[in-house]
Amino acid sequence: MLDLAPVVAVVREAGRAIMQVRAGASLDVREKGNGPVTAADLAANRILLDGLRSLLPEAGWLSEETADSEERLGCEVCWVVDPLDGTHEFISGSSSFAVSVGLVRDGEPVLGVLYFPAKEELYWARSGEGAWSGRGERLTVSPREDRLRLAVRYADLKREWLCRLRESQPAWRFTPYGSTVVKILRVATGGDEAYAAMSLYPYEWDICAAQLIVTEAGGRVTDLDGRPVRYNDAEPRQARGLLASNGVSHELLLRALRDVM
């Protein structure tokens, strides 16, 4: 298994580059197909590409900020990277954005690192070794099976599916958060029991590292049909959505979500 320390060092370096851009005169915000990109996204991507590939030269590469290549499909291992998850939050001045780095082997995550540079918070997991904070605290999902708490997107608060779900489950609580990794991390740390992506289907780089952290904390992640999520696929977007949960409430959540689709 790849040593964690040099991976974390590269991720922290990318975080420093992001904060240097934030402290500068301009974020250089541009529009692209699936949202804005800034000088910070691109600077972090360059650092991660050079640093992580030097650690594992045989690995494929899939990143939000790198043109995709079919070469990765023939690789047993592949880096799945979002250099700056939460670009909208970064632009707005929030601290809820992260560097997200996952490593997959044969389609399954084996290493995940999340780093929030504005808060200097680190979270990581390796397959079979649990999920941990940078302070050495082991992460554990909530054991709750009723009166569930769901992390949601701000944009989903007025979506028809969420309105129907709130009506059908009046005892559940729905709290909006910004970036994807923040919502999934809420599940891993026990702050919420679930996050469902029902209307904006995530890309592999949005969820890879966070998925491993959730599952190593005792939770479960599937698509909305209950099937395992696979990585390093030819189509990197999850066409059947996503449900990350504390595990014990997963089947209940799947049934409730199917009823409001």
What pLDDT sits at residue 201?
85
What 8-state DSSP symbol labels residue 203?
A: B
Instruction: Specify the amino acid at residue 30.
Output: R
What 8-state DSSP symbol labels residue 154?
A: G
- Max intra-chain CA distance, the chain: 52
The sheet carrying 108-116 orders its strands as 60-63, 77-85, 98-105, 108-116, 121-126, 131-133
Residues 109 and 220 in one domain: no
What pLDDT sits at residue 32?
80
What pLDDT sits at residue 79?
98
pLDDT along the chain (261 residues), means of 10: 93 98 91 86 98 97 96 97 95 95 97 98 98 97 97 92 96 94 97 91 95 98 96 93 97 96 85
Residues 14 and 129 in one domain: yes
Q: Is residue 202 part of a domain?
A: yes
Residues 159 and 122 in one domain: no
In angstroms, the CA 228 to CA 109 distance is 11
In angstroms, the CA 51 to CA 235 distance is 25
Q: Is residue 204 part of a domain?
A: yes
pTM: predicted TM-score of the whole model, two decimal places: 0.96
Residues 50 and 88 in one domain: yes
Q: Is residue 139 part of a domain?
A: no
Tokens encoding 191 = 């702050």
Residues 37 and 73 in one domain: yes
Residues 59 and 108 in one domain: yes
Residues 87 and 178 in one domain: no
Residues 78 and 23 in one domain: yes
Pairing label, strands 77-85, 60-63: parallel
Q: Is residue 144 part of a domain?
A: no
Residues 30 and 123 in one domain: yes
Residues 127 and 165 in one domain: no
The structural domain count of the chain equals: 2
Single residue among 77, 100, 133 that ends a domain in this structure: 133
Residue 23 contacts residue 118 (beta carbons within 8 Å): no
Q: Please list, in sequence order, all residues whose beta carbon lies within 8 angstroms of the beta carbon of residue 144, skipping any fewer than 6 positions away.
A: 193, 246, 248, 249
Q: Residue 170's domain is classified under what CATH number?
A: 3.40.190.80
Provide the CB-side half-sphere exposure for 14 (13 A, CA). 32
Q: Residue 66's domain is classified under what CATH number?
A: 3.30.540.10
Q: Is residue 114 part of a domain?
A: yes
Domain that holds residue 48: 4-133
Residue 146 contacts residue 248 (beta carbons within 8 Å): no
In angstroms, the CA 176 to CA 145 distance is 20
In angstroms, the CA 244 to CA 221 distance is 4
Q: Is residue 67 part of a domain?
A: yes
Residues 198 and 78 in one domain: no
Place of tokens 């979506």: 159
What pLDDT sits at residue 133?
98
Residues 28 and 79 in one domain: yes
